[in-house]
Amino acid sequence: MDPVTVPRSSFFRTLWTNAIFAPRTSLGFMRIDFVLGTIFVIPLTQMVFFAVVAHLGGDSVGYTALGNAVATVTYSSVFSVCQTTDSEKWQGTMEHLLVSPANRFALYFGRGLIPILISLATVSVGLTYADLFFGVAIAPSTIPALAVSVVLTAFAMVGFGLLLGGVALYLRTSIILGNIFLFAGLLLSGVNFSLSALPLPLQYAGDGLPLTWGLAAIRATVAGDGLGTLTVLWGAVALAAVVSFGAAISLWHVFERRALSTGSIARF
């Protein structure tokens, strides 16, 4: 008797299906008002708030505005993405994913495609605000290198969001985890002040966040630093992206094996 073969959807079909449907279901941020608010409203309001604080404190408004232009990426790439775990559990679809024959990398990476695009738009709009309203001079000659920095940062941040979602597989909720790292980035990544102003242990903690390296690459690009410096920073951001995606998938595999061996996800 021939063994039963389990049909498998193609890698690209799985990737495309998750890219289209995940934002409407487990990601839950495809409402047009949410998308437009994330891209156009949140960057401006956050930049205005911290720019006013910097002005009152006698600090550089341009430095703070540029930092927050990039930091707003965390709303779509970290906070929203890491909530995929909660959505799958509470909607009762986690069990279906565990028995699905779909390629796991395509399934997981597909969920990050739309957030990556939204992150790219958010940072681009934030940088435009910084140039138009906050005195951050962005030379046209730096735009190609700036585009590379922004794309790498978007990938790294979405990967970090998926990593937090992987950690949240073992927690009751991801909301607290998302909030912690949403605001930790503002403190530890050099958004509003240089990392050198922090105690050494916090500087080391900041070095472990992808936002730190992405922001450093964007600041260096705007400042017109040479290709050698940018290449090192781009490598650091790319490494953060690869490590985040890889760790996220590893956490999923461990969770999957444990759930299948016990026949339940109840204890997670």
Domain ranges in the chain are 13-262
- pTM tops 0.85, yes or no: yes
If you average pLDDT over every residue of the chain, what do you get? 88
Report the range out of 13-17, 83-87, 97-101, 152-156 with the highest average pLDDT. Answer: 152-156
d(CA 68, CA 54): 12
List, for residues 167-216, the tens digit of each pLDDT value.
988 888 888 888 899 889 999 999 999 999 999 999 999 999 999 999 99
List, for residues 135-164, the tens digit of each pLDDT value.
999 999 999 999 999 999 999 999 999 999
* Residue 174 dihedral angles phi and psi, to the nearest 5°: -105, -5
CA angle (43, 211, 149) in 5-degree steps: 80
